[in-house]
Each structure stands twice: as structure tokens, then as C-alpha cells.
Chain A
Amino acid sequence: MHPRLFKTPALAAALIALIGVCSQAQAHNPMCECKAIEDGQIRCTGGFSDGSGAPGVTLDVIGYDETILVPGKLGADSTLTFKRPDSEFYVLFDAGPGHIVEIDQADIEAP
């Protein structure tokens, strides 16, 4: 009688744990982070909030006058390194229409 008594709650606990595991599927929102590194270079890393990387995704550096200063694509490691432009600029991580992240030059962390 005792072994049965302990088996059932264990099964119930396992079921409850399973319910916790299959939570609602999350959207994968684009994200991008840029950091200033040595020699006036900037390194940007792109990705999605579900943890996936973004190799080959377009990342453009655009001037405030809308001219494209650095047309780029992220490398296999989802990063792109470029020289900091002299004029005012922003970084546009462009994974398709409506799937973009803009980073203003003021928001790029110094090394």
C-alpha cells in the first residue's frame, strides 16, 4: 500500500512540471547591439530574441542625410565591424520590412 501512495503524487508532480515546460511560444523580435572597440571601430552584433543568430542579415550604417555610409551584411558570427564614420550616423539592422532595429550614434557605448 505504501509504495502506491508515493507513486501517484510523483506522477502528478511530473505532469505539473510538463505543463510548465510547454508555455506559450514566444515571438522572435530582432535585436542589435553596437559597441565601440579599439582604433575607432564599431562592432555590431545582431540576432533575434529567441536566441537565434542573424548571419547574412543586412546592417547598414546610414548618415543623418539618409546616405548609406557603410552597406554591410553580418558575418557568420552575426557581427559586423566597421570604422566609425566622421559624420553623424545611425545603424540600421534590417531583417526585412518591419523587422528592423535602429541604433543612433548617441546610443553606441564607448569602449
Chain B
Amino acid sequence: MSKAVAAQPTSTLSRLWHKWRFHINILLLLVPLGFMPKYFADASLFRGDSGLGERDIGTVQVGPWSLQLAELRNEAPRPDGPAGYMKSFNAALCDTCIDQVKAAYLRIGKPRSLRAAGVIFFGTPYRMGATLPIPERTKADAELWITLEGWDGSMHQAAIPLSQASPATIAWLAQRGAK
């Protein structure tokens, strides 16, 4: 009898734990459910089921070729340590130009030369990706330049306003400028 009394839990916390531990464990199993919508949205985005990216920019004509552009994420540029702020874009070449285009580049402002054409798109021509550094002093009326290099040595360029390519970036620049 006295032995049973000695084994009784002493603190309130300990008593609560012993009474509710199974229920608490079931609650822990429910926690991942809250992350499911984001998980499935991301899985669909990266698989390509929900289009090229979160926000379609449209088709851009570049000389004889064209490509479809999209923002991977409809959000402000993300910081990448000392390399600065980065913004990811996805692109798909038109069906007839896949065999002719060797490389696609993206840059803010007109490139000085083909060597300095900006960041290169990599991946399959049906879904290429590029991560573009956004200089903090970028002006709101800046242009996004697309350079396509052909296997025949030709080069074609086109530009679209950054405000059309990524309104979220323009909003981010305006907010930083106000600081």
C-alpha cells in the first residue's frame, strides 16, 4: 500500500503529461497537414503542371524567334548573400526555334556585347530557368533584355519593360528607394 503511494507522480506538469500524452502525439501528427497545400503547390509548379511559373509574362518576339516568359515566383527578389538580390525567370522557346537557338540570355539594360549578355538560361528548351541579379539601383523604367544566340552565329535581341516582366520587383525597388 505504502509502495503504491510512493509511485504517484508528484508535479502538476508530470500529471498533465501522463494524462494527455497520447492526445498531444496525435496533434503532432496533424502539424504536417498545415504545410500540405504549399507542398502540393510547389510540387505542381516545379513539375510544370501549373504552367511555366507563378506569373506568365507572355510571348516575346526576338528577331525571327520567340519565347514564352514567366516569373518563377510572383514575389520580390530574394537575397543570395554577397551576390545580391536574385530573381528567377523561366522560359520556353517556340517549337520551331528549339533546333536553331543555341543560348538564351537575360539582362537588365541593354547588353554591351554578346560576352556580357547577362545570365544564361539552362535546362530543357521547353522549360529553361535563369536567375537574374537585380542591382539595387535599378530604375523603375528599366528594361529586361533578352538575347538569343543561334547555332548559325546570329544574335537577336528584344526588350520588355521590367514593370511588365515583374511588377513585384518594381514594387520592391520602390519600397527600397523610399527607405
Binding site for B on A (CB under 8 A): 5, 26-27, 29-31, 33, 47-49, 62, 66, 90, 92, 94, 97-100, 102
Q: A49-B82, A92-B116, A100-B115 are in contact. List 4 more A-B contacts (CB 8 A).
A: A29-B131, A33-B82, A62-B112, A100-B118
The count of residues in chain B whose C-beta lies closer than 8 Å to any C-beta of chain A is 23
Q: Which residues of B contact A100 (CB under 8 A)?
A: 115-116, 118
Question: Nearest residue in A to B86 (C-beta to C-beta)?
Answer: A29
Q: Which residues of A contact B116 (CB under 8 A)?
A: 92, 100, 102
Cα–Cα, bound, A98→B105 (Å): 7
Q: Which residues of A contact B103 (CB under 8 A)?
A: 97-98
Contact mask B58-93 → A, CB, 8 Å, 1/0? 000000000000000000000011111010000000
Cα–Cα, bound, A5→B21 (Å): 11
**Are the C-beta atoms of A49 and B83 separated by less than 8 Å?**
yes
Cα–Cα, bound, A26→B83 (Å): 12
Closest 5 CB pairs of A and B: A98-B120, A49-B83, A29-B83, A31-B83, A49-B81
Question: Nearest residue in A to B132 (C-beta to C-beta)?
Answer: A29
Q: Which residues of B contact A48 (CB under 8 A)?
A: 83
Known: A29-B131, A49-B80, A97-B120. A92 touches B105 (CB 8 A): no
**Are the C-beta atoms of A31 and B82 separated by less than 8 Å?**
yes
Cα–Cα, bound, A26→B130 (Å): 14
> Using a CB-CB cutoff of 8 Å, which residues 129-179 of chain B contact chain A?
130-131, 133
Question: Nearest residue in A to B106 (C-beta to C-beta)?
Answer: A98
Q: Which residues of A contact B130 (CB under 8 A)?
A: 98
Question: Nearest residue in A to B10 (C-beta to C-beta)?
Answer: A2
